[in-house]
Amino acid sequence: MVVLNRIYTRTGDDGTTALGSGERRPKYDQRITAYGTVDETNAAIGVVRVHLAGARELDAMLGRIQNDLFDLGADLAVPEREGKPERLRLLASQVTRLEHDIDGLNAGLSPLTSFVLPGGTSAAAYLHLARTICRRAERAIVELAAKPDEPVNDAAIHYMNRLSDLLFVASRVTNNNGAGDVLWVPGQNR
């Protein structure tokens, strides 16, 4: 259980922050950027949920995802090290659940004939915003994983990749199952 009875500590006033392991790193460190951008994704999904009038199933799905994103942030905040006891890690089963959710959401949608522009309902537009933040988080995690001294759980990368797909499909669902999608018309304004 987490207990937060004091919000400010002043320990970050020197431009550093603590990882879950206690190690201090500069606030611009790639690991901090990675889990910070996961947190941004989570916040954007919170905004989506405010705009989901009556979509209980999707709201519950996004609530589970928000909790998973905290797990993912905790995973990234404690680098895997040999000889250290295992901490909270994202699991492949969480990625599999996302795939199942994507398949369920996508089942009632018509195939696309063009790329979709962000828009339609407010919920769909916010889902697109969350999707783009999710992609940025994925890029930050992949960049971190490319560093030889920065271990990253593969499930974290897989999860963010699937999540962006889920957010895209969910945007179509909230756009009247794709009927309200705003389609890209190449060269329309030439």
92-148 pLDDT, tens digit per residue, is 999 999 999 999 999 999 999 899 999 999 999 999 999 999 999 999 999 999 999
pLDDT of residue 56: 93
Q: What is the pLDDT of residues 47-90, one digit of tens each?
A: 999 999 888 999 999 999 999 999 999 999 998 775 566 678 99
pLDDT of residue 88: 86
8 A C-beta contact, residue 18 and residue 24: yes
Query: d(Cα 65, Cα 90) in Å, to the nearest integer?
Result: 12
pLDDT of residue 45: 98
Provide the 10 A C-beta neighbour count for residue 140.
Answer: 21
The CATH homologous superfamily of the domain defined by 26-79+90-176: Cobalamin adenosyltransferase-like (1.20.1200.10)
Q: What is the pLDDT of residues 5-50, one digit of tens each?
A: 777 777 677 788 888 877 888 788 999 999 999 999 999 999 999 9
Contacts of 126 (CB under 8 A, 6+ apart): 44, 47, 48, 51
Contacts of 166 (CB under 8 A, 6+ apart): 65, 98, 101, 102, 105
Domain map of the chain by residue range?
A: 26-79+90-176
pLDDT of residue 46: 98
